[in-house]
Amino acid sequence: MADDDDRGRRDEPGWLSELLAPVAGFGVTFSTMFTKVLSEEYPEGPKGKGPKATQPRYHGRHQLNRWADGLEKCIGCELCAWACPADAIYVEGAQNTELERYSPGERYGRVYQINYLRCIFCGLCIEACPTRALTMTNEYELADHTRQATIFTKEQLLAPLLESMVPAPHPMVDGATEKDYYRNEVTGPTEAQRAFAAERSDGRDDVVVPARDTSVSRHAKKHKGATA
């Protein structure tokens, strides 16, 4: 009978166990006090070096890329918008003309918006883009105070013009086709493109046509009509 009564009962702790119980309870806390601190200050970063850099393939703010001569890669096809599970992208395409050409081929993205209140940074849109016009940067500081400020427009998303690029609109490289652009055979603007943009920019200080530089269009070299 005595065995049955003791079944399920634990031994009473001794006075030493009771004394050390709080220390044991804080054991994990005490042990982590002497390990290396992994948290980083924000936005100062470790030792004042700024916030920790993201991984190279981090999915941050989008960017609409340009070809080497400054024309835009976006052709306004809306495939990115159809692929988006959050319905965060709005695109309106328009027809290129000889005087208003923004991209190689027939069409360009006239209106392009991404709503960063909806975007979940899944990257499906960049997978869907047929021209690699849309990619994602490492920029992640996108919070703002108004809904309007978190809807990025085409002007905000367009990649900055590199020094050698000529701002669109301007014609394609003489003799080049869309395929030449897609094969990356156009590696810089031609004199004809600079002259066209310079003529259009006459009196406009929002259009800056870069001076001739050393960048050479491989495609232009192949065509006598174009000078690099």
Q: Is 111 in the site for ligand SF4 (CB under 6 A)?
A: no
- Token representation of residue 223: 């065509």
Q: Is 104 in the site for ligand SF4 (CB under 6 A)?
A: no
Task: Report in angstroms how near the CB of residue 8 gets to ligand SF4 at its nearest.
Answer: 57
Name the one residue in this structure whose structure tokens are 């600079």: 194
Contacting residue, 71, 129, 158, 228, with ligand SF4 by CB under 6 A: 129
Q: Is 91 in the site for ligand SF4 (CB under 6 A)?
A: yes
| Residue 192 annotated as part of some ligand binding site | no
Nearest to 164 by CA among 209, 205, 98, 206: 209
Stretch that binds ligand SF4, among 8-16, 88-96, 145-153, 202-210 (CB under 6 A): 88-96
| Residue 84 annotated as part of some ligand binding site | yes
Give the per-residue SS3 of the chain.
CHHHHHCCCCCCCCHHHHHHHHHHHCHHHHHHCCCCCCCCCCCCCHHHCCCCCCCCCCCCCEEECECCCCCECCCCCCHHHHHCCCCCEEEEEEECCCCCCCCCCCEEEEEEEEECCCCCCCCHHHHHCCCCCEEECCCCCCCCCCCHHHEECHHHHECCCCCCCCCCCCCCCCCCCHHHHHCCCCCCCCHHHHHHHHHHCCCCCCCCCCCCCCCCCHHHHHCCCCCC
Q: Is 142 in the site for ligand SF4 (CB under 6 A)?
A: no
| Nearer Cβ to ligand SF4 (20/120) | 120
| Nearer Cβ to ligand SF4 (40/106) | 106
Q: Is 197 in the site for ligand SF4 (CB under 6 A)?
A: no
Contacting residue, 69, 70, 104, 119, with ligand SF4 by CB under 6 A: 119
Contacting residue, 128, 142, 151, 161, with ligand SF4 by CB under 6 A: 128
Task: Report in angstroms how near the CB of residue 63 gets to ligand SF4 at its nearest.
Answer: 10
Cα–Cα distance between 221 and 223 in angstroms, integer? 5
Stretch that binds ligand SF4, among 6-14, 40-48, 68-76, 220-228 (CB under 6 A): 68-76
Is the CB of residue 157 less than 8 Å from the CB of residue 137?
no
| Residue 80 annotated as part of some ligand binding site | yes
Q: Is 76 in the site for ligand SF4 (CB under 6 A)?
A: yes
Can you say which residues are annotated as belonging to the binding site for [4Fe-4S] cluster? 74, 77, 80, 84, 119, 122, 125, 129
- Contact positions toward ligand SF4, by CB under 6 A? 74-80, 83-84, 86, 88-89, 91, 109, 114, 119-125, 128-129, 131, 133-134
